[in-house]
Amino acid sequence: MRKLQTADVFNAMRMIKKANLKEEIKPYLMMAASGEVNVEEVGIEGILGLIETMSEQKSERAIYEVLAGPFEMTADEVSAMELDILMECLETLGKENNLKVFFKSLSGLIGKK
């Protein structure tokens, strides 16, 4: 697994726009960016919330594409992951990265019209 990179912020932003989730995800990002709550918890809760909200197949694929980068896998490999492995990877991603900076960057982009 690699650290989050600048490109990951833009990949996440494209996913949010593609799925028309700007308003739904904004509260998660604002809480994470402000430090009101545990950022790792918001990260996992945010991703699970996205998965729940993004039930359409094209949106589901967008999540796999976003996670593929830091997981160093293809989107197809992410989609085929066992759930316990996915949760482990999400936890590792949260522990090994400064998610507050990631969410703050994403929040800044979403805040713009």
Query: Nearest CA to 106 among 18, 21, 23, 30?
Result: 30
Domain boundaries, the chain: 6-111
Q: What is the distance between the alpha carbons of residues 111 and 108, in angstroms, rounded to a whole number?
A: 5
Model pTM score: 0.69
Number of helices (H), then strands (E), in the chain:
7, 0
Decide if 34 contacts 28 (C-beta within 8 A). Answer: no
Specify the pLDDT at position 50: 59
Query: What are the tens digits of pLDDT across the range 37-94?
Result: 665 665 666 666 656 665 565 677 888 888 999 999 999 999 999 989 998 998 898 8
- Cβ atoms of 11 and 99 within 8 Å: the answer is no
